[in-house]
């Protein structure tokens, strides 16, 4: 698969590493970078060899968020142009959040504003201990409208209010306490750990992973009775899948499973 100019693609067995490639501006989220990352993910969605994805940033930062020069120019653009730019970011974050394959963020340095939102949309986040994360939009007179949707799901309302209203940066350790980060590792080790974690997750059934991610996206918006009806249907369906039969047999026979979903892609 060819690499878009703003995103490089690196293969590690069944894990594909996507790296943001704008280190000179701390991987600021230009319209081109957002489009390139979206295209790279779409290409991986139907790639049978990719079972999990790792996302990182080149250089000293994960992502500094919106490209402020472009943002200033958009301030003078039409409402339609601004809506299209906003919709582009929303579509990318939704794609990551609902992506059928697990996505792990490896955060070193700053993950700020849209960059923090990018990490928040991932399934798992590994951060170097020197990383700093924050939703600083209010300090610019801006509103973290799109990333707020994902932040609320990740950390809950009280922590989201603190992050969004103060606009302050938090350490990796504090981000871990809030639930914004899953693991904190020594600086420089986030990518290696993220690749290991992604490989671990990717060993599970692709069918089960995709179905679990679908449920994680849908259940929070349901009422109790609706969610349980949905869960009963999913539970009953998964009992009939080839992967469930193989998983149970492999466990009882003390061997590694050979998932049918791996064969079918």
Report the share of the chain in percent with pLDDT over 70.
Answer: 93
CATH code of the domain covering residue 219: 1.10.12.10
Mean pLDDT of the chain: 93
Q: Please tell me which residue in 129, 137, 162, 200 is annotated as part of the active site.
A: 137
Tell which of 202, 225, 250 closes a domain: 202
Whether residue 3 has pLDDT greater than 60: no
Domain finish residue from 164, 184, 202:
202
Domain that holds residue 221: 206-264
Helices 114-121/145-155 angle, 10° precision: 40
**Residue 74 confidence class, pLDDT cut points 50, 70, 90:** low
Question: Mind listing the pLDDT tens digit for each residue in 208-248?
Answer: 999 999 999 999 999 999 999 999 999 999 999 999 999 99
Residue 2 banded pLDDT, cuts 50, 70, 90: very low
Nearest to 143 by CA among 159, 163, 164, 157: 164
Q: What is the pLDDT of residue 84?
A: 86
Nearby residues of 203 by Cβ (< 8 Å), 6 or more positions away: none
Annotated active-site residue 137? The verdict is yes
**pTM, full prediction:** 0.92
State the Cα angle at 156 between 68 and 235, rounded to 5°.
115
Q: Does 231 lie in the same domain as 145?
A: no
198/223 same-domain check: no
Same structural domain, 30 and 80: yes
Question: Would you state the pLDDT for residue 263?
Answer: 46
Residues 141 and 248 in one domain: no
């Amino acid at each position: 698969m060819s690499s878009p100019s703003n995103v490089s693609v690196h293969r590690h067995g069944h894990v594909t590493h996507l790296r943001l490639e704008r280190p000179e501006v701390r991987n600021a989220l230009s319209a081109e970078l957002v489009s390139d990352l979206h295209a790279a993910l779409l290409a991986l969605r139907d790639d049978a060899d990719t079972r999990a994805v790792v996302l990182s940033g080149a250089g000293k930062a994960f992502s500094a968020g919106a490209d402020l020069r472009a943002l200033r120019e958009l301030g003078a653009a039409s409402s339609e142009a601004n809506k299209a730019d906003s919709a582009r970011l929303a579509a990318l974050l939704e794609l990551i959040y609902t992506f059928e394959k697990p996505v792990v963020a490896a955060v070193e340095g700053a993950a700020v504003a849209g960059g923090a939102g990018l990490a928040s949309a991932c399934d798992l986040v590994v951060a170097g201990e020197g990383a700093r994360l924050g939703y600083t939009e209010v300090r610019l007179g801006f509103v973290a409208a799109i990333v707020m949707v994902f932040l609320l799901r990740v950390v809950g309302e009280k922590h989201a209010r603190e992050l969004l209203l103060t606009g302050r940066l938090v350490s990796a350790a504090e981000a871990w306490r809030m639930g914004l980060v899953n693991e904190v590792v020594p600086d420089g080790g986030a990518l290696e750990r993220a690749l290991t974690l992604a490989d671990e997750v990717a060993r599970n059934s692709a069918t089960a992973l995709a179905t679990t991610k679908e449920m994680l996206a849908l259940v929070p918006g349901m009422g109790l009775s609706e969610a349980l009806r949905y869960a009963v249907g999913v539970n009953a369906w998964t009992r009939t899948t080839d992967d469930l039969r193989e998983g149970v047999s492999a466990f009882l026979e003390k061997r590694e499973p050979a998932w049918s979903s791996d064969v079918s892609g």
